[in-house]
Structure 1
């Protein structure tokens, strides 16, 4: 503790671990601290199952029918990775993938009128989907072809659409798409939480749909990837990268004070000792006096004994519902996860870990002022 570092990082969430890993690789002397005894911060993977019961103050112990507690990895905030997205590219570029194993999820579904349908994301699926009528299928297929051929650097692919001025609502109108198609396209393909995007320039939405299609084409089954042992593996992977290049990690370390002199952070005090630094990066929860709450997120974790019905018994999937199905101003998503393992030729099934994430407003926190130094 009684040393000087180039950077001190507080909190082991994914963002903090990525930054500490990159800075260590670039020759910075990094001290990384967390008040928790585990990596991941608010998006950690909780294991064993007994720790999940303790965290949420559930009385008693898990029933024996749920198997061994250490066989469980329950993510507090599960989020799928887009197979061709920026995070996956970063994992490949930094070679953090050597510390991780991934699985491809088995599908993406949409909830409509009390029924569950597979999200059509290719021309073939659009023609075969029961989510749309015959003429709607043809119009949606033309829309997907247009999106696939769209190139911001080639005006010949615009077909009269100005990507920086034309609202996405006008693009949908151009292809005469109905409200149901607009709902699952915006929420299940472009992954928007609200319909605010409809009146914004169409370029970002088109690129989001292209990313979905490109990610789907990469592995075939689904556009989504997930770490085999939970999302908490990602920050740990970047922590290992930092440690290889000299980064110092301290878990279960209480933070007593962030020391500021003349408006500049000069160190962090913990257990009576002071570590000095030239720069501080931290999770917003370490500086509550400098953040403002602007919304909230409702999350529910349900442990099921079976896959979700009408998903072809998918081992893992994403299920979307648009805001107007729920009479709310934002969409909801259900993330369904479980794994199968083999032990001594006997099959052991991890029960389903399902999460409902309903975003009422976003983001949850924003920094009021930055910490300089």
Structure 2
């Protein structure tokens, strides 16, 4: 079934909940229901480093990985610069364990630097655009994520747009042309094509829990799904979001 219209055969309950979440999120922190960290996504690992330190974790930078040590089929440590960091479980991305992942496709990404907002976005300083597959006679959607000086990731008056999609043909740049036309004129663009890897197994035996490579989506939905899947593979149970929800008195100061 065509992925862009299969929602027509689904119950409306999920859609209603999504609309409810959207409306509850509006104007909670600013004019948008979406959050994006100032100074870029690098602030997320910064936050993790601080939280990790509170719980006794050690955050090491610029440490090359020489070897992942496995004994009796199970990970026991990681060797770096002659030293071994012992562990009972290892969480990593596909680049560290190429023999344990398989290629399932490719993604093309183009980073464009602009001196203007994207047309037909009401001069928004940030936006997400999804060009449906049917509209451009493709099997995959085309994604555009635009951020700007408003997020402290670019100079004043500059905008950064990332265009991405799943590669389907021999000339990937032609596949994203509809999105690039939306961004014109562009000052500069940087094109990259990366392989899409997924783990061969769940890591139950080896305790090497591998994430999937980033796909073409730019709204983080599949990334969040991968994080939840990694948590389940690590602990054997689903993450309980109910424990994370703020209580009424946290929000309104009421009992």
Where does 1:264-275 land on structure 2 (aligned, <5 Å)?
264-275=74-85
Which position in structure 1 is the counterpart of 2:197? 365
**Which structure: larger Rg?**
1
Equivalent of 1:320, from 130, 138, 141? 130
Name the CA distance, whole Å, in 2 between partners of 1:264 and 1:239: 27
Deviations 1:58-77 (A, max 9, x none): xxxxxxxxxxxxxxxxxxxx
Name the CA distance, whole Å, in 2 between partners of 1:318 and 1:225: 12
Task: Kindly state the Cα deviation for residue 289 of structure 1 after the two structures are TM-superposed.
Answer: 0.7
Name the CA distance, whole Å, in 1 between partners of 2:124 and 2:28: 19
Calculate the TM-score normalised by the size of structure 2: 0.60
Change (3 A) 1:211 1:268: same
Where does 1:104-115 land on structure 2 (aligned, <5 Å)?
none
Task: Kindly state the Cα deviation for residue 217 of structure 1 after the two structures are TM-superposed.
Answer: 5.6
Which position in structure 1 is the counterpart of 2:142? 332
Contact 1:194–1:329 (CA under 8 A) maintained in structure 2: no
What SS does structure 2 have at the residue aligned with 1:243?
A: helix
What SS does structure 2 have at the residue aligned with 1:226?
A: coil
Calculate the TM-score normalised by the size of structure 1: 0.42
State whether structure 2 residue 159 is matched by structure 1 residue 349: no
Contact 1:267–1:276 (CA under 8 A) maintained in structure 2: yes
Which position in structure 1 is the counterpart of 2:228? none
Name the CA distance, whole Å, in 2 between partners of 1:290 and 1:257: 14
Task: Kindly state the Cα deviation for residue 197 of structure 1 after the two structures are TM-superposed.
Answer: 4.3
Which position in structure 2 is the counterpart of 1:277? 87
Change (3 A) 1:367 1:202: farther
Task: Kindly state the Cα deviation for residue 303 of structure 1 after the two structures are TM-superposed.
Answer: 0.1
Unaligned stretches of 5+ residues in structure 2:
169-194, 209-255
Task: Kindly state the Cα deviation for residue 203 of structure 1 after the two structures are TM-superposed.
Answer: 3.9
Task: Kindly state the Cα deviation for residue 204 of structure 1 after the two structures are TM-superposed.
Answer: 3.5
Name the CA distance, whole Å, in 1 between partners of 2:26 and 2:136: 28
Equivalent of 2:46, from 217, 236, 251? 236
Name the CA distance, whole Å, in 2 between partners of 1:262 and 1:364: 29
Where does 1:47-86 land on structure 2 (aligned, <5 Å)?
none
Which position in structure 2 is the counterpart of 1:304? 114
Name the CA distance, whole Å, in 1 between partners of 2:121 and 2:67: 50
Contact 2:4–2:134 (CA under 8 A) maintained in structure 1: no
Name the CA distance, whole Å, in 1 between partners of 2:76 and 2:198: 23
Name the CA distance, whole Å, in 2 between partners of 1:227 and 1:213: 21
Aligned residues: 177
Task: Kindly state the Cα deviation for residue 367 of structure 1 after the two structures are TM-superposed.
Answer: 1.4
Equivalent of 1:216, from 26, 46, 53? 26
Name the CA distance, whole Å, in 2 between partners of 1:306 and 1:237: 31
Change (3 A) 1:300 1:341: closer
What SS does structure 2 have at the residue aligned with 1:267?
A: strand
Contact 2:106–2:166 (CA under 8 A) maintained in structure 1: yes
Deviations 1:197-248 (A, max 9, x none): 4445554444334333333363573321211110111121011110132211
Name the CA distance, whole Å, in 2 between partners of 1:351 and 1:357: 20
Task: Kindly state the Cα deviation for residue 313 of structure 1 after the two structures are TM-superposed.
Answer: 1.6
Task: Kindly state the Cα deviation for residue 195 of structure 1 after the two structures are TM-superposed.
Answer: 4.0
